[in-house]
Structure 1
Amino acid sequence: MLQLNKAADTTSKSPRRRDSPSPVEERGPGGEALRLLTAAFLLLLLTLPNFAQAQQAAKATWIWYPGDYEIWLSNQMQNRRTERGSFFPPFWRLDSHYALIDFHQDYDLQQPEEVEIRAEGQYNVKLDGKLITGYPTRMTVPAGKHRINIKVYNQQHVPAVYVRGNTIGTDGSWLVTFEDKEWIDASGKASDQSGTTWLTAGSWNFNDPQTLPSTFKLKTEPKRAAKVTRGENGSMLVDFGKETFGYVRLHGLKGTGATTLYFGESKEEALSIEGCETLERMDVNQPQKGDKLTTLSKAFRFVNIRPEAGVTLDSVSMLYEYAPVTQRGKFRCSDDQLNKIWDVAAYTMHLNTREFFIDGIKRDRWIWSGDAYQSYLMNYYLYFDTPTVNRTNFALRGKDPVTSHVNTIMDYTFYWFIGIYDAYQYTGDKTVVKQLYPRMQSLMDYCLNRRNKDGYMEGLAGDWVFIDWADGLSKQGEVSFEQLLLCRSLESMALCANLVGDQAGAQKYQQLASDLKTKIFATYWNPSKGALVHSRVNGQPTENVTRYANMFSIFFDYLTPEQEQQVKKSVLLNPQVAKITTPYMRFYELEALCALGEQPYVLKEMKSYWGGMLNEGATSFWEEYDPTKKGTEHLSMYGRPFGKSLCHAWGASPIYLLGKYYLGVKPLSAGYTTYEVVPNLGGLQWMEGSVPTPTGDIAVTASTKQLKVKGASGIGTLRFKSKKKPSSKGAKIQAKGNGEYELQLQPGREYVVNYQAV
């Protein structure tokens, strides 16, 4: 028999506690005996297996249509950007969630089970196709095979459901759709066939039934100012000591009028009333002293506070706003400056890890695909926070139909494809690949349909060909860099097609990639220059050589060994080729050199480039750094005196470089089922650290005489070079020739190798 507890309030607690005392609590004749009898009865119930089992509810979480919550949340975040107090929305199309979602799951129960039901929005519930009256918040599902179906409508927030019983619980295995494509004929018979596309549900960490997804906020904690300088008319210049993010709190605020706050990542910016990028005017009407918070969280180190006449305040503090991610990656070495670089890179990454991976905390606060792709890679060596990667990928892609490139940028579309397969390689989780694959197909169709008559990508109306911020960088014609990224994207599509069982798609995409790679080298490779030229204009390859396509071709493994050495000499180590001045592309340039075994050179470059920012007083790493600039020249960009972001996610790349190419850890198969450790000191005397994986950390310690490695799970291979024959107690080291050795690593065991570094 179906039992229901109906209520219109979808967020009410059930069962409800009564305010009046129960009969057991009443005093009077026989009251004590009744209490003892009741206690004995309850003790008996607790000894019964079924009752005890019923107290252990199944794990459950709020679920939604995959990508919808991510799109909704990204809209909330990206529209918080302001420029000098004005609303400043993103440049690209913003999609929305589906307003009506159908959720269902099938169960085979050994015994009847009561479940709790909650939803964000109007909803109905069906059991085995039979509609239940009203808005049930609890129901009993009989023993046997049954289907629970819930349909939710919500225009303002994302339709979401939470169901929990003893064995029944909403999770990622529930199926969802935004259109059920069912119909009923004149006789009342339901359709025998359906064209419905069902996907597995999306979720995050909303495991409490009372914690609604729509109420999510980042964590905050109070922070004190490092220094306060008081000026005329009650003004204050507040220094919080380093780059930070959050709300400013004014204490002891009193009076009637206005107080204006001018924010600055630098002292110069905060003091520039006319030039600072962000500000906030607070209206004050407080006859008694009190506290007041700014309305929007902002990036700053310095705050210039200017109260009008008649307004006073005592002091200033802040609420630091942050995402509660856990830092698992570690790195320490014999070089103190490099340790400082790693620490500041980790702090930069933390500041830009919010609801999503964003570009920078001061200016855009948007989700840019090129920036996010680098954040994913750094994340795999710092947090291994897969949910933020997934949320960011869903938010970037948005919905069909495709009307432009991701962020309107051609190369950013290609980074999105590459990042999907990378995520699988690091995590071993196919779920998001399966959920996103239809959107991957439609986006790739859009790209392929925009190729020119010769099969190349070329900027069309509405396309932004970005590549990098670099003066004089040509974007005309068919840029080799874009063709290279398309080729890698097609390879990623083929790999993802295999994961979801689309064999025809895998074959098609792989053939397209192979054909394009052949064309790229036939068109752009210039043997006399030993490099790929930058572009083809009017059907003819140019003579111009830039670093971009050449360095990507190295870590994409597209070059022969001979070509790699040519590119290293003629491009990467050639001062005549235009230098890169953004951490964004320095990331890839130094990765290419590391892939060629140039860790000693890269170590010097990291110390010079990122160390140069530290010498300029940086407390987080910047959007752009040109060592030839001086003083306040470092603060300007985009034609504005303080336009540059001094805390940009792509500035944190040493995290990735040191984890992958110095500690030398990377997965060889999905989810670190197999992996390799190839330590390279690069001129350091010693280093130690850990790299996170889905099932634990890989710890590495290296000096010139000893290596120590321990992996939590998976089968690893330690590869190293030694001037003398190495030894390891209880382990078999294989000689590979030319002073190279290998050692297989079993999970949970620490291996100690005595050797002499080359």
Structure 2
Amino acid sequence: MKRALSLIAILVSITLTGFAQNQATWIWYPGDFEIWLGNNMQNRRTERGTFLPPFWKLDSHYNLIDFHKDFDLAQPEEVDLFVEGKYNVKIDGKAFSGYPKRITVPAGKHKVSLKVFCQDRVPAIYVRGKNVVSDGSWLVTFEDKEWIDETGKASDQSGTTWLKAGSWNFNDPQQPPSKFKLNTKELSAVNATKKAGSLLLDFGRETFGFIKLKGLTGKGQVTIYYGESREEALATETCETTDHLEIDLTQKRDSIMELTKAFRYVNVQFDGSVSIDSVSMLYEYLPVADRGSFRCSDEQINKIYDVAAYTLHLNTREFFIDGIKRDRWIWSGDAYQSYLMNYYLLFDSPSVTRTLLALRGKDPVTSHINTIMDYTFYWFIGIYDYYQYTGDKTFIQQFYPRMQSLMNYCLSRRNKNGLLEGLAGDWVFIDWADGLSKKGEVSFEQLLFARSLETMALCATIVNDTPNAATYSQLAADVKTKLFTNYWSDSKQALVHSRVDGVPTQNVTRYANMFAIFFNYLDDPKKQAIKQHVLLNPEVPKITTPYMRFYELEALCALGEQSYVTKEIKDYWGGMLNLGATSFWEEYNPAKKGAEHYAMYGREFGKSLCHAWGASPIYLLGKYYLGVKPTAPAYATYSIEPQLGGLQWIDGKVPTPDGDVSVYCSTKEIKVTGAGGIGTLRFKSKIKPVSKQAAIRLVSSGLYEMTVEKGKNYQVNYQL
């Protein structure tokens, strides 16, 4: 039984330049498909058969949409129409009767319009002619503010806001957006233990999909217990996810479970006269290929990279989700890290924009994203990074009004000091950490707020909203000034954690301090002070989640401490591998023993053993070891600063919108291949370096650089 619509035929390479000329595709109001799909996906969560919906507001798509485009045809054209919903179609304002499947557009200049109503799906159209085709250049609106007076005359002016249509990769008229499913492929267990009335299967590693019971017959009950660990699958009273079937079959048949589950082990229990020939699974996945890569002289680091890549793939689904077993929701903080990993492994822009749009939803804004203050700010910062890596101005131009309304909500919740603190309905998350205070004006929230305002200033400039660009810039500067005035402690040589009733606390945590480093908010003396007094200080409470280890290690890399970070990656992520991890976890505390590692949230198996934020080595190794990062949007200019971090050699690729940057570095040789844009290779050498392919410039004592052009190969002989 085929559970998923194959995407092989419809998933095509998407670039920032859009679809090929005259390629028809399904189109809709921008952001609506993402919201509709997100609602469907996030309401598939169950816990031991109980439906568990999200606890934040879910918006809906607009159910009545007007589509149009002007064409200038040299000759008449036959055009086929495919529509999701009820519709009328007009040429130059004159409607056809009924629901035509084909129309003729006369030669000359004409406006083709469709108005579509659909409640249960997103109103969408597919228009296919020789030149008249539906694509992202069509204009759409959800409210037509035209009117006709008593004489029948149409209004001379319009208040309608038209946007460019949304689209993805639905290029087959028989496969509309409403039929979207991820791909599946059948896999078998690597080991099966069969006993009377039970089957225990091991699929070899963490995986995700539908369990398939083959040759099912008889009468009785079948219960399936899923486990990310063997212990969980055998814990029939406390495992997190189950399936239950009542069977009454006289002839053998196959049965596929209705909902996907995450598991490595599956415990199938059955009674009565039920018999099962075998059990397999349909592995569900988004078919997106790796473009980035990394290899080095340390095999454990290579294994960590591979498992991190697999972890990210498992959590790259309709959207970037947090973890495949438990929530399977779109959490903004988790997704933000996935965006960054994506830029160094997949470079799949549609996955980023789908996730951003599903998270944002519609106006009016009634709460923070996911109800979490910091998660709202990660949403803004995610747009800042998206533009830097992709250069996609269209996304910002389309959704700037939603950015504004969300920022207005944040600004409305400032206190008398112009700062933010948790109000009724706000969840100040920061991190899972015992005893972490969320009271008062937390420095970490102000820092994220400042970066979000900088994002708004950037976006306002892109859409030519000059007055607000100046306003957002000034607000960002004010918040940054208050951050260092109110929270910097000369005695602690760090930003303190919070202020309560206007008085700074003496508590120092790592969060604001490490973000301030890679946001480049600090001068060099303050950076060095934080490195010694916070990041390398064992007295400051340690971080135990991969979520915040991500940022802690990024800050250390930004300070040039790659050798230290290499050891930390090996100890922390290598520690999970040593315990048998096949994907990286939501939380890892080396002090725990045995099955203690599986517990969280007061539940024996509450922890996710496949969590997106566990895959951060992808980003760290690409950005801070291979050393590739954009210095202008879309890699128009970029830097390459390879760092071995104590390794003997590193070798890999970093994807960009226009090709991949390849980097090899050892203690004596550097090889690079440029992508689109102009790159700058920068490195240190004890001797005068030599290259036959380009001139090398001396920057300062022992520091050199050279220009890297698109598609050209360079080799440098040097001495580290």
State TM-score, norm by structure 2. Answer: 0.97
Provide the rounded CA distance (Å) in 2 between the counterparts of 1:88 and 1:424: 35
* 705-714 or 528-537: bigger deviation: 705-714
Which residue of the partner structure matches residue 4 of structure 2?
Answer: none
Which residue of the partner structure matches residue 611 of structure 1?
Answer: 574
Cα deviation 1:341-364 (Å, max 9, x = unaligned): 000000000000000000000000
Cα deviation 1:463-489 (Å, max 9, x = unaligned): 000000000000000000000000000
Provide the rounded CA distance (Å) in 1 between the counterparts of 2:497 and 2:382: 24
Which residue of the partner structure matches residue 414 of structure 1?
Answer: 377
Task: Say whether residues 1:695 and 2:684 are aligned partners.
Answer: no
**Which of 621, 630, 641 does residue 667 from structure 1 map onto?**
630
Matches within 5 A, 1:573-652: 573-652=536-615
Task: Say whether residues 1:76 and 2:34 are aligned partners.
Answer: no
Answer whether contact 2:693 2:715 (CA < 8 A) is retained.
Answer: no
Task: Say whether residues 1:148 and 2:112 are aligned partners.
Answer: yes
Cα deviation 1:145-190 (Å, max 9, x = unaligned): 2111110000010000111211221111111110011111111111
Matches within 5 A, 1:496-575: 496-575=459-538
Which residue of the partner structure matches residue 700 of structure 2?
Answer: 737
Provide the rounded CA distance (Å) in 1 between the counterparts of 2:194 and 2:602: 32
Instruction: Kindly name which structure, 1 or 2, has the bigger radius of gyration based on alpha carbons.
Output: 1
Task: Say whether residues 1:265 and 2:217 are aligned partners.
Answer: no
Which residue of the partner structure matches residue 35 of structure 1?
Answer: none
Cα deviation 1:202-247 (Å, max 9, x = unaligned): 100001111111001000001010111123x320111101000001
Provide the rounded CA distance (Å) in 2 between the counterparts of 1:117 and 1:501: 37
**Which of 682, 687, 707 does residue 670 from structure 2 map onto?**
707
Which residue of the partner structure matches residue 80 of structure 2?
Answer: 116
Provide the rounded CA distance (Å) in 2 between the counterparts of 1:536 and 1:160: 51
Task: Say whether residues 1:307 and 2:270 are aligned partners.
Answer: yes
Which residue of the partner structure matches residue 15 of structure 1?
Answer: none
Task: Say whether residues 1:434 and 2:397 are aligned partners.
Answer: yes
Answer whether contact 1:68 1:98 (CA < 8 A) is retained.
Answer: yes
Task: Say whether residues 1:284 and 2:247 are aligned partners.
Answer: yes
Report the residue type matching 1:594 in the other structure. C
Task: Say whether residues 1:195 and 2:165 are aligned partners.
Answer: no
Provide the rounded CA distance (Å) in 1 between the counterparts of 2:30 and 2:608: 33
Report the residue type matching 1:273 in the other structure. T
Secondary structure in 2 matching 1:202: coil
Matches within 5 A, 1:91-490: 91-231=55-195, 233-490=196-453
User: Structure 1 residues 57 and 500 mapped into 2: Cα distance closer, same or farther (>3 Å)?
Assistant: closer
Provide the rounded CA distance (Å) in 2 between the counterparts of 1:268 and 1:546: 36
Cα drift, residue 137 of structure 1: 1.6
Report the residue type matching 1:326 in the other structure. A
Cα drift, residue 309 of structure 1: 1.8
Secondary structure in 2 matching 1:161: strand
Provide the rounded CA distance (Å) in 1 between the counterparts of 2:246 and 2:396: 49
Provide the rounded CA distance (Å) in 1 between the counterparts of 2:88 and 2:395: 28
Secondary structure in 1 matching 2:491: coil
* 273-282 or 103-112: bigger deviation: 103-112
Answer whether contact 2:345 2:654 (CA < 8 A) is retained.
Answer: yes
Cα drift, residue 57 of structure 1: 8.9
Report the residue type matching 1:119 in the other structure. V
Provide the rounded CA distance (Å) in 2 between the counterparts of 1:507 and 1:316: 62
Matches within 5 A, 1:745-756: 745-756=708-719
Report the residue type matching 1:693 in the other structure. T
State TM-score, norm by structure 1. Answer: 0.92
Provide the rounded CA distance (Å) in 2 between the counterparts of 1:584 and 1:487: 21
Provide the rounded CA distance (Å) in 2 between the counterparts of 1:107 and 1:752: 52
Cα drift, residue 116 of structure 1: 1.5
Report the residue type matching 2:215 in the other structure. G
Cα drift, residue 283 of structure 1: 1.9
Which segments of 5 or more consecutive residues in structure 1 lack a partner in the other structure? 1-55
Cα drift, residue 133 of structure 1: 1.6
Report the residue type matching 1:259 in the other structure. V
Provide the rounded CA distance (Å) in 2 between the counterparts of 1:111 and 1:184: 32
Provide the rounded CA distance (Å) in 2 between the counterparts of 1:406 and 1:78: 14
Provide the rounded CA distance (Å) in 1 between the counterparts of 2:511 and 2:76: 63
Secondary structure in 1 matching 2:333: helix
Answer whether contact 1:57 1:164 (CA < 8 A) is retained.
Answer: no
Which segments of 5 or more consecutive residues in structure 2 lack a partner in the other structure? 1-19
- What root-mean-square deviation, in Å, do the aligned CA atoms of Structure 1 and Structure 2 show? 0.9
Answer whether contact 1:530 1:563 (CA < 8 A) is retained.
Answer: yes
Provide the rounded CA distance (Å) in 1 between the counterparts of 2:95 and 2:216: 57
Provide the rounded CA distance (Å) in 2 between the counterparts of 1:698 and 1:142: 49
Cα drift, residue 111 of structure 1: 2.2
Answer whether contact 1:70 1:395 (CA < 8 A) is retained.
Answer: yes
> How many residues align structurally?
701
* 281-290 or 336-345: bigger deviation: 281-290
Secondary structure in 2 matching 1:559: coil
Provide the rounded CA distance (Å) in 2 between the counterparts of 1:227 and 1:410: 46
Provide the rounded CA distance (Å) in 1 between the counterparts of 2:701 and 2:491: 32
Answer whether contact 1:125 1:148 (CA < 8 A) is retained.
Answer: yes
Which residue of the partner structure matches residue 676 of structure 1?
Answer: 639
Answer whether contact 1:57 1:165 (CA < 8 A) is retained.
Answer: no
Secondary structure in 2 matching 1:203: coil
Which residue of the partner structure matches residue 86 of structure 1?
Answer: 50
Cα drift, residue 693 of structure 1: 0.8
Provide the rounded CA distance (Å) in 2 between the counterparts of 1:564 and 1:447: 29
Answer whether contact 1:115 1:139 (CA < 8 A) is retained.
Answer: yes
Detail structure 1 runs of 4+ shifted over 4 Å in the superposition. Answer: none
Answer whether contact 2:24 2:135 (CA < 8 A) is retained.
Answer: yes
Secondary structure in 2 matching 1:312: coil
Provide the rounded CA distance (Å) in 1 between the counterparts of 2:96 and 2:640: 58
Provide the rounded CA distance (Å) in 1 between the counterparts of 2:700 and 2:182: 54
Provide the rounded CA distance (Å) in 2 between the counterparts of 1:186 and 1:308: 75
Answer whether contact 1:243 1:619 (CA < 8 A) is retained.
Answer: yes
Cα drift, residue 58 of structure 1: 2.0
Cα drift, residue 285 of structure 1: 1.7
Give the percent of matched residue pairs that are identical in Structure 1 and Structure 2: 70
Report the residue type matching 1:737 in the other structure. S
Provide the rounded CA distance (Å) in 2 between the counterparts of 1:172 and 1:505: 28
